Amino acid sequence: MTSTIPEAETLKELESDTRQAWEHYQDRLRELSGDEYERAEAASWDELQSELQRLDRRREDLKPTAN
């Protein structure tokens, strides 16, 4: 499969967005501990998973469909 330039650029953006999503997750938890960490981690993890799923759907949209 060859990618067009716009597809390649979109894939790069998606990779960058994935890294940013993980960084955001880590940043939200970095200074926390104990109960505060536990509460924030659950919500942050759910938010991260939603964002990663959204990015995966965008990746899937770039794949050619079989005829």
* Residue 55 near residue 18, CB atoms below 8 Å: yes
Handedness of CA 16, 20, 26, 27 (dihedral sign): positive
Decide if pLDDT at 55 tops 70. yes
Mean pLDDT of 45-65: 93
Residue 67's pLDDT is 54
Mean pLDDT of 5-25: 94
Decide if pLDDT at 1 tops 70. no
- Predicted TM-score (pTM) of the model is 0.80
Residue 39's pLDDT is 92
- The pLDDT tens digits of the residues spanning 27-37 come to 999 999 999 99
